[in-house]
Amino acid sequence: MEINYDNIKVIGFDADDTLWVNETYFRDAEQEFAKLLSQFETPNKIDQELFKMEMKNLPVYGYGVKGFVLSMVEMAIELSNGTVSNKVMSKILEIGKDMINKDVELLDGVEEVLQKLSSKYKLIVATKGDLLDQERKLEKSGLLDYFHHIEVLSDKKEANYSKLLNHLDINPTEFLMVGNSLKSDILPLINIKSKAIHVPFHTTWAHEEVSVNKNQSEQYHTVNSLLELPELLN
């Protein structure tokens, strides 16, 4: 199925693992957490239980580092039956602060691509996560000048995108979303008659994994790098 981008006027970009590295730091943090709690359970069990805790807490804390840290704290108390030391708790908080304070590592070709596309399209950021943390990362990234609008969404479902496009007076058929998550950046968009381009990242959070049927897969393009975007859109 041929996909035509001739009528696209606005391009939305996911931020984490589309513009810069993010999920890698969560995997590193999970390994550190497992080491801290190694006297109570195996690394694999700790990882499984932490993910369950994150899913339970997601409606309460939302996405981002802060909710992740709170889930680690709660998991440490649960796994240790309330015997976890203050020293371990302090180290868990340090893991979170270290994640928040990491330098922003842009993915290959990001600024080059944004520079090319910004001359023809209006560009926006549509991402999930903690508002303060995402604002901080955008500031550190040096990319702010390329974007007309920044939106940190509580979730990325069809209703969230429809509300955003309506708020910005963007016709869904003139909008293209670019992101690494099929669940959050691709499928909701094709369901509201927008276009989407998938740029996979080598690490995917289990919560973002989803199966795609043949009909869905024919409605979006997948590229290996953002560097392929300008040519694809032309």
Give the residue among 73, 135, 69, 128 at the shortest CA–CA distance from 98: 69
Residues 114 and 90 in one domain: no
DSSP codes of every residue in 114-131: HHHHTTTSEEEEEEES-H
Give the pLDDT of residue 113.
97
Give the pLDDT of residue 36.
95
Give the pLDDT of residue 206.
60
- Its domain, for residue 122, covers 10-20+104-233
Residues 157 and 225 in one domain: yes
Give the pLDDT of residue 203.
67
Tell whether 4 is covered by a domain: no
Residues 180 and 85 in one domain: no
Angle between helices 43-61 and 65-79 (to 10 degrees): 130
Contacts 24+ apart (CB under 8 A), 35-43: 36/76, 36/88, 36/91, 36/92, 37/75, 37/76, 37/79, 37/80, 37/84, 37/88, 40/79, 40/80, 41/79
Tell whether 2 is covered by a domain: no
Tell whether 1 is covered by a domain: no
Q: What is the token pair recorded at 159?
A: 């209703």
- The letter for the amino acid at 26 is F
Give the pLDDT of residue 74.
96
From 100, 130, 149, the end of a domain falls on 100
Give the pLDDT of residue 63.
87
* Total count of domains within the chain: 2
Residues 69 and 56 in one domain: yes
Tell whether 3 is covered by a domain: no
Angle between helices 65-79 and 23-36 (to 10 degrees): 20
pLDDT in tens, the chain (234 residues): 588 999 999 999 999 999 999 989 999 999 999 999 999 999 999 999 999 999 999 999 988 899 999 999 999 999 999 999 999 999 999 999 999 999 999 999 999 999 999 999 999 999 988 888 899 999 999 999 999 999 999 889 999 999 999 999 999 999 999 999 998 999 999 999 999 999 998 766 565 566 666 677 788 999 999 999 999 998
From 69, 100, 131, the end of a domain falls on 100
Q: What's 83's domain CATH number? A: 1.10.150.240
Give the pLDDT of residue 234.
83
Residues 15 and 35 in one domain: no
Residues 147 and 172 in one domain: yes
Q: Global pTM?
A: 0.89
3-class state of residue 10 by DSSP: strand
Residues 117 and 216 in one domain: yes
Q: What's 229's domain CATH number? A: 3.40.50.1000
DSSP codes of every residue in 133-150: HHHHHHHHHT-GGG-SEE
Give the pLDDT of residue 214.
66
Residues 128 and 226 in one domain: yes
Residues 144 and 67 in one domain: no
Give the pLDDT of residue 62.
87
Residues 116 and 58 in one domain: no
From 49, 79, 100, the end of a domain falls on 100
Q: Return the half-sphere exposure (C-beta side, CA atoms, 13 A cut-off) of residue 146.
A: 23
CA distances from 187 to 18, 133, 159, 180 (A): 16, 26, 12, 11
Residues 50 and 136 in one domain: no
Residues 121 and 219 in one domain: yes
